[in-house]
Amino acid sequence: MVFLGFSAGLPFLLVFSTLSAWLRDVGVELSVIGFFSWVGVTYSVKFFWAPVVDTLPLPWLTKCIGKRRSWMLLAQLGIAAGLVGMASADVESQLQWIAIFAVWVAFCSSTQDIVIDAYRIEAVVVEYQGAMAAMYVLGYRIALLVAGAGAFYLAEYFGWAIAYQLMAACMLVGVVATLIIDEPLPNEDQEARKLARRVEAAFGVAGPRNWMARLGAWFSDAVLSPFVEFFTRNGKFGLMILVLIATYKMSDITMGVMANPFYLDIGFSKKEIADISKIFGFFMTIAGASIGGVLVARYGIMKPLLLGAVMAAATNLLFVLLAVSEPSLVLLAGAVSADNLSGGIATAVFIAYLSSMTSTAYTATQYALFSSLMTLPAKLLGGFSGIVVEHYGYEWFFVYSASVGLPAIVLVLVLMRRYARVNIQSPSLKKRD
């Protein structure tokens, strides 16, 4: 899982913030860089093709190494090929090809995420899922360090094309791991099958199966059943929970689009950015995640969830000070430390919240839907970040990125009041208590 987590984490920054730094470093306009952030929308809509990955065997390859491993290997080779394509294109004259290859890498990467999640759930019994997830996160974070600081160091000394070629070679870690592991045996969930049949009957797609009925049944099982279960369990507050999921990370993701271009524009070198933003920030994120886990264990989910939302928005204001001051490594280290610490806390707590909202009957499907909803609105909004910077400057952009976190704070307060009034908790917290 460490190696698969590494394989999953490596492409993410290479089509997001590291790509933004590359484009800015060669003089691409900020408005264009902002639109490039929409490449990340691919990760937010992966649930659309998740049922295809889950059910469709690949010719020959599935027979040789199994369904999960065949899709995993195909996705990894696709990522490597896309990164080589990005490295081979000329940024000044072939920017459209950079965009096309970036979308391809994001598509293959999100497909790999789907398969690795399914593998993790099917490979071991429930008692070991926590250990599997922990090792996955460790590998993922190491990959972010390599694709962030590592790519910056390589670009500083050898250029961006060489950096991306070497990142493509790093995908061999995932390929080798895929070839070594065993194909897991899928587990049948009888309760989920019963609910799926009831939903099929309710929407009139049960019974004799011609091709239209089979298509309708597929849509019912893959999309409708998880939503029906969620709203049945949460009632009218289900919609408010979904809005909270859609807005909670909005401040953090919106700010992240312009972070690296901001560092470069105010005068820091790529090496200085790598030293502070990537390496030092990496350890602060791990520290924040650990603190978030302790807070959830000590105080439950809702209070730390509120703290994370407030901190994620408030720390964006520290970058206003950095924007109006002379370049200072001390100020940069302070702002990055606070931002990554708050981001680690918010991420750990929010994952716990999403897990508490997920039914064990639809763990993979609902979590994929939640994680997609978590990033899609923020990434769409982040596409306009460059326009905000060009019209109002970096200082007002950071005020704006902090303000978009206010809806999440309000929603957490409303849900806290709701839970206190009716004295309810999520099912997973009841079991833990």
Query: DSSP for 133-151?
Result: HHHHHHHHHHHHHIIIIIH
Instruction: Quote the CA–CA distance of 400 and 389 in Å, as a whole number.
Output: 10
Q: What rounded mean pLDDT belongs to the chain? A: 81
pLDDT score, position 429? 43
pLDDT score, position 169? 96
pLDDT band at 137 (very low <50, low <70, confident <90, very high): confident
pLDDT score, position 181? 93
Instruction: Quote the CA–CA distance of 51 and 74 in Å, as a whole number.
Output: 16
Of residues 52 and 400, more confidence is placed in 400
Mean pLDDT value of segment 266-294: 78
Mean pLDDT value of segment 374-388: 76
Mean pLDDT comparison of 3-12, 211-220, 329-338, 362-371, highest-scoring range: 3-12
Instruction: Quote the CA–CA distance of 169 and 431 in Å, as a whole number.
Output: 45
* Amino acid at site 228: V
CA angle, 65 as apex, 60 and 69 as ends, to 5°? 110
Instruction: Mean pLDDT check: name the lowest of 71-75, 114-118, 210-214, 305-309.
Output: 210-214
Instruction: Quote the CA–CA distance of 411 and 400 in Å, as a whole number.
Output: 19
Number of residues in the chain: 433
Of residues 108 and 135, more confidence is placed in 108
Domain ranges across the chain? 1-180, 227-425
Tell me: pLDDT of 302 over 70: yes
Tally of CB atoms within 10 A around 393: 12
Tell me: pLDDT of 6 over 90: yes
| Residues 323/37/313/421 CA torsion (nearest 10 deg) | 170
Q: Which two tokens stand for residue 410?
A: 């309000």
233: nearest Cα among 359, 367, 402, 64: 359
Tally of CB atoms within 10 A around 235: 8
Tell me: pLDDT of 114 over 80: yes
Tell me: pLDDT of 296 over 50: yes
Q: What is the pLDDT of residues 304-360, one digit of tens each?
A: 899 999 999 999 898 888 888 887 888 888 888 888 888 888 887 887 787 677 665
Tell me: pLDDT of 168 over 60: yes
Mean pLDDT value of segment 186-215: 63
Q: What is the pLDDT of residues 234-264, one digit of tens each?
A: 777 888 888 998 889 888 888 877 887 888 8
Tally of CB atoms within 10 A around 169: 12
Give the CA radius of gyration of the chain.
Answer: 22
Mean pLDDT value of segment 388-413: 88
pLDDT score, position 3? 95
pLDDT band at 427 (very low <50, low <70, confident <90, very high): very low
CATH, domain range 227-425: 1.20.1250.20
Of residues 278 and 228, more confidence is placed in 228
Distance between alpha carbon 180 and the CA centroid of its chain, in Å? Answer: 26
Phi/psi at 196 (5° precision):
-60, -40
Tell me: pLDDT of 433 over 50: no
* Amino acid at site 390: E
Tally of CB atoms within 10 A around 74: 19
Q: What does each C-alpha distance from 363 to 80, 84, 154, 191, 432 come to in angstroms?
A: 30, 35, 39, 13, 18
Question: Mind giving me the DSSP string for 91-117?
Answer: TTT-HHHHHHHHHHHHHHHHHHHHHHH
Tell me: pLDDT of 400 over 60: yes
pTM of the full structure: 0.70
Of residues 190 and 377, more confidence is placed in 377
Mean pLDDT comparison of 44-48, 198-202, 358-362, highest-scoring range: 44-48
pLDDT score, position 410? 93
Mean pLDDT comparison of 107-111, 362-366, 393-397, 422-426, highest-scoring range: 107-111
Instruction: Quote the CA–CA distance of 356 and 25 in Å, as a whole number.
Output: 42
Distance between alpha carbon 330 and the CA centroid of its chain, in Å? Answer: 29
Mean pLDDT value of segment 39-66: 81
pLDDT score, position 432? 38
pLDDT score, position 179? 95
Phi/psi at 407 (5° precision):
-55, -40
Q: Percent of the chain at pLDDT above 70?
A: 82
Mean pLDDT value of segment 141-165: 89
pLDDT band at 112 (very low <50, low <70, confident <90, very high): very high
Fold of 1-180: Growth Hormone; Chain: A; (1.20.1250)
Tell me: pLDDT of 82 over 90: yes
Tell me: pLDDT of 120 over 80: no
pLDDT score, position 80? 96
pLDDT score, position 170? 96
Please check whether the two domains, 1-180 and 227-425, share a CATH topology: yes
Are 411 and 57 in contact by the 8 Å Cβ rule? The answer is no
